[in-house]
Amino acid sequence: MGRQKKSRISQPGRVTLREVAERVGLATGTVSAVLNDAPSARAIPEHTRQRIQATARELNYRPNFLARSLRKKRTYTVGLIIEEIGDAYGSMVISGVEAYLRQHNYFFLTVIHRHDASMLRDHSQLLLERGVEGFITVDTSLVEPLSLPTVSVAGHRTLKGVTNIVLDQERGARVALEHLLALGHRKVAFMKGQPFSSDAEERWKAVCSVARELGLEMDSDLIINLEFDDPSPQVGYPYAKQLLARKKPFTALFAYNDISAIGAIRAIQEEGLRVPQDVSVVGFDDIPWAAFHTPSLTTVRQPLAKMGQIAAETLIRMIEGDGDRSPEIAIEPTLVVRESTGRAPKR
């Protein structure tokens, strides 16, 4: 009989709240509050919460989300709207979103829009029909508010019901350009982001403003505009080729993001130039590839996974009416110095 009972409760999804409550000797409501992370659980002593959670793990308890949803008339589901599946920037943000939602027993449904306004509109409606309770957007330029609480990672437009998670672009530009100036670089080339990228305009404004303040002359012949959309280093490679074909010498390149910087390094090396001995390169984002590329990439780090976690945490608070909503949450970037930058060559 004992063996049969042990076998029964070890099956995922079969153990009930009542069984967990009986094992710890507490009321079912107390156990439910802890395992469903209800606000009332905050009044329960920490050692009691830990005992309940340990017992739930021991019994392999899994909450019945369908019953929970029907009881509270909620879906505990979030709509995640992104530009592209598979790009390094978005993937890191999504990892942070997923980690936080999983810890708090929320699910998410994902749609992509490829910067197509009609896809964005249609897919937003599709998520609404699936019963999502709020939205998280990533690298998405919203022109009007969505009909549910929304957190926008890299959102810049002030809209009703939307909280923007924004990077301090001016600080990002400053740490990168001050680093290059300290290394003796005065002829700096720039890659400007694609018009459809949500950070492009704000970042370029910041770069121009900081360059003026630091007395760094920006030569129009050393500015190249990224245009097409590609989640691979190919996004920067042909534009770096165009820049090099102008035969205007430069000792450093500040790229719009890491993926374009990596493509640019390949183009520079194919011209017989060395990085960083002949040309230093700085990226932006600090995607995983940046540390493992050869040479490893100096870059302005955005804490992308953390930004995803903050977005998820903020949205849940908005959905559950827990606290005041802030229209903007600012994130500080930092400079990560690696092998792709060095002293400016003497010429």
Which residues are within 8 A (CB) of 36 and not within 5 positions of it... i.e. 6 or more apart? 63, 68, 105
Residue 339 belongs to some domain of the structure: no
Q: How far is CA 16 from each of CA 25, 62, 76, rounded to the nearest angstrom?
A: 14, 8, 20
Domain residue limits at 132: 74-167+304-331
Split at pLDDT 50, 70, 90, the class of 69 is low
Q: 């449904």: which residue's tokens? A: 109
Same domain, 102 and 9: no
Of the chain, the percentage scoring pLDDT greater than 90 comes to 68
The pLDDT value given to residue 12:
46
Residue 146 belongs to some domain of the structure: yes
The pLDDT value given to residue 64:
66
Same domain, 200 and 269: yes
3-class DSSP state of 118: helix
Same domain, 308 and 281: no
Same domain, 110 and 137: yes
Domain CATH number, residue 253 = 3.40.50.2300
Same domain, 277 and 260: yes
Same domain, 284 and 317: no
Q: How far is CA 110 from each of CA 10, 121, 145, 241, 266, rounded to the nearest angstrom?
A: 32, 14, 18, 36, 33
Same domain, 286 and 309: no
Residue 68 belongs to some domain of the structure: no
131-178 pLDDT tens trace: 899 999 999 988 898 989 999 999 999 999 999 999 999 999 999 999
Same domain, 151 and 175: no
Residue 134 belongs to some domain of the structure: yes
User: What tokens were used for 233?
Assistant: 């280093």
- What is the four-CA torsion angle of 163, 165, 167, 168, rounded to 10 degrees? 30
Other beta carbons within 10 angstroms of residue 273's beta carbon come to 14
pTM over 0.75? The answer is: yes
The pLDDT value given to residue 86:
78
176-199 pLDDT tens trace: 999 999 999 999 999 999 998 989
3-class DSSP state of 298: strand
Residue 204 belongs to some domain of the structure: yes
Average pLDDT over residues 238-248: 96
Same domain, 25 and 136: no
CA-wise closest residue to 261 among 216, 269, 175: 269
Same domain, 214 and 290: yes
Work out the angle between the directed axes of helices 28-35 and 46-58 (0-180°, nearest 10): 90
Q: Is the pLDDT assigned to residue 267 strictly greater than 80?
A: yes
Q: Is the pLDDT assigned to residue 1 strictly greater than 50?
A: no
The pLDDT value given to residue 68:
62
How many domains, the chain? 3
283-326 pLDDT tens trace: 999 999 999 999 999 999 999 999 999 999 999 999 988 767 78
Residue 4 belongs to some domain of the structure: yes
Residue 60 belongs to some domain of the structure: no
CB-CB contact of 163 with 314 (8 Å): yes
Same domain, 109 and 180: no
Average pLDDT over residues 214-233: 92
Q: How far is CA 131 from each of CA 86, 134, 326, rounded to the nearest angstrom?
A: 25, 9, 25
Same domain, 201 and 289: yes
Burial pattern 151-189, b for ≥16 Cβ within 10 A else e, equals bbbbbeeebeebbbbbbebbbbbbbbbebbbebebebbb
The H-or-E segment that residue 299 falls in is strand 298-301
The pLDDT value given to residue 221:
97
What's the mean per-residue pLDDT of the chain? 90
Residue 118 belongs to some domain of the structure: yes
